[in-house]
């Protein structure tokens, strides 16, 4: 089940929301949320819900032992046990094929292991919970179901944001009354739904028409290479741009919907995006893109390694580790590792000299950022590096193919791309903020009533007959 499916929009979520609203206490609401979350996860992963439950059980038990331990060595031991279980399980389900491929053919039983949906997200959340208990930033929960609820919350369990326990503990378990933000929640949810249904899906279809999707199998790779060799530079650049817009709109749409659903129930999930494509450097881009993942690696990997407080060689090593892991987190394929290291190289160059130069070039720095990110998305899209090279060569005119078909497709989709670009900038948000300051009751009725209703209606129309359209980051 996905947020952009009709069964979720008109059956599952309304029933879950109604059940929570009818509850008079937080424990009762949490019980409804837990049952809803387990049903939601089991809908697509009936077996792997047991994996989620076991990993939550392991983290719950180890956190209790960390809290009860009398010595630092014992606390470290239980922390290491929790992290080892989490890494071992995500390593088996997500990375065993990659590891085996280094030493030879991947065994059949490894190839047949499917990736549990959302494992990268809830694994990180459970690790932060135990680490925060170890650091003294959080108290261990006495009830196992509390930890399971935190890990399984269906609003964000599948594709983020990555929610730290400390940021949501009070919303879930304190005695303070629930503070529902209905207007903001409904509006944010409908905006996210429209970004997915009206823009991201259409950009994805355009990208697939111009640059083939990542193929599986030797014959499919050969066909993809042939297709890319026949595409013009205009077609590949347009396809890569459409893919870049799809990724941002798709992923940020999921975060918008998660944040909106949380607001309806008094749960405050962290922001995950801040218009990254308007950044003027790679460093700024990653402060705006998938912010909860960036803060995880900063606080739980980069700073513990020493951050930038060490010597330059050690800082380079720390940064290398973070970006190799960032790439690897996105997928068990070498192209993802190279994608992470692609940004690592730019960060080194920016720190050495380019960052100071870019500060003096307000327009050129954004062009530079977009070129770096667009070329990076080619690495992100194709697991076979031959396809990456074919696409990059084509982008710079190596194919010498006719651009007539690509130009026609571009003209037919110019309004879609314009809308997607506007949706990727803070323009509409700025206009809305000005109207919030000047508008009265009529504007509030339009913003929190008419606009969400219109977006919901248009999104529903777009989803009829195409209700299975999973979010890109489900695969991570």
In this structure, what DSSP letter does residue 472 have?
G
Residues 6+ apart with CB under 8 A from 178: 26, 29, 265, 266
Residues 6+ apart with CB under 8 A from 198: 419, 458, 459, 462
Q: Which tokens hold the place of 405? A: 């078909």
CA distance 437 to 451: 18
CA distance 369 to 213: 24
CA distance 390 to 403: 17
Q: Is 330 a catalytic residue?
A: yes
CA distance 284 to 380: 19
Q: Identify the active-site residue in 155, 268, 290, 330.
A: 330
CA distance 271 to 262: 12
Residue with structure tokens 């922390």? 79
Q: What is the DSSP string of 234-301?
A: HHHHHHHHHHHHHHHHHHHHHHHHHHHHHHHTT--PPP--S-GGG-SSHHHHHHHSSHHHHHHHIIII
Summarize the chain as % helix, strand, coil (round to 5). Answer: 75, 0, 25
Q: Which tokens hold the place of 177? A: 């009354």
Catalytic residues: 330
């Amino acid at each position: 089940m996905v947020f952009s499916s009709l069964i979720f929009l008109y059956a599952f979520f309304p029933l879950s929301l109604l059940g929570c609203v009818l509850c008079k206490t937080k424990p009762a609401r949490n019980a409804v949320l837990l049952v809803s979350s387990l049903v939601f996860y089991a809908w697509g992963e009936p077996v792997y819900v047991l994996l989620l439950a076991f990993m939550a059980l392991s983290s719950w038990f180890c956190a209790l032992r960390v809290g009860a331990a009398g010595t630092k060595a014992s606390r470290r031991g239980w922390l290491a046990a929790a992290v080892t279980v989490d890494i071992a399980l995500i390593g088996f389900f997500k990375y065993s094929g990659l590891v085996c491929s280094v030493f030879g053919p991947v065994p059949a039983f490894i190839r047949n292991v499917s990736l549990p949906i959302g494992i990268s997200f809830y694994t990180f959340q459970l690790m932060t919970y135990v680490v925060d208990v170890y650091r003294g930033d959080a108290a261990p929960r006495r009830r196992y179901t509390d930890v399971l609820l935190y890990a399984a919350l269906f609003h964000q369990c599948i594709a983020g944001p990555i929610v730290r326990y400390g940021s949501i503990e009070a919303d879930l378990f304190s005695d303070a009354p629930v503070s529902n933000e209905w207007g903001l929640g409904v509006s944010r949810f409908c905006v996210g739904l429209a970004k997915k249904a009206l823009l991201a899906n259409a950009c994805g279809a355009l990208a697939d028409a111009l640059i083939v999707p990542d193929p599986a199998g030797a014959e499919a790779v050969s066909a993809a290479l042939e297709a890319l060799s026949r595409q013009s530079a205009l077609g590949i650049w347009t396809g890569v741009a459409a893919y870049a817009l799809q990724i941002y709109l798709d992923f940020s749409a999921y975060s918008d919907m998660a944040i909106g659903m949380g607001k309806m129930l008094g749960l405050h999930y962290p922001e995950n995006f801040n218009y990254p494509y308007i950044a003027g450097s790679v460093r700024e881009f990653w402060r705006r893109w998938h912010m909860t993942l960036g803060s995880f690696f900063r606080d739980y990997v980069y700073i513990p390694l020493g951050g930038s407080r060490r010597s330059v060689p050690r800082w380079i090593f720390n940064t290398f580790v973070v970006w190799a892991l960032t790439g690897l987190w996105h997928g068990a394929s070498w192209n993802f590792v190279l994608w992470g290291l692609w940004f690592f190289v730019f960060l080194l160059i920016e720190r050495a000299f380019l960052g100071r130069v870019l500060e003096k070039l307000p327009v050129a720095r954004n062009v530079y950022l977009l070129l770096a990110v667009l070329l990076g998305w080619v690495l992100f899209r194709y697991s076979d590096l031959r396809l990456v090279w074919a696409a990059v060569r084509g982008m710079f005119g190596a194919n010498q193919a006719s651009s007539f078909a690509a130009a026609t497709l571009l003209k037919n989709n110019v309004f879609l791309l314009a809308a997607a670009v506007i949706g990727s900038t803070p323009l509409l948000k700025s206009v809305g903020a000005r109207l919030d300051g000047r508008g009265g009751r009529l504007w509030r009725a339009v913003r929190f009533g008419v606009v969400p209703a219109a977006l919901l209606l248009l999104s529903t129309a777009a989803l009829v007959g195409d209700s299975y359209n999973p979010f890109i980051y489900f695969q991570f």
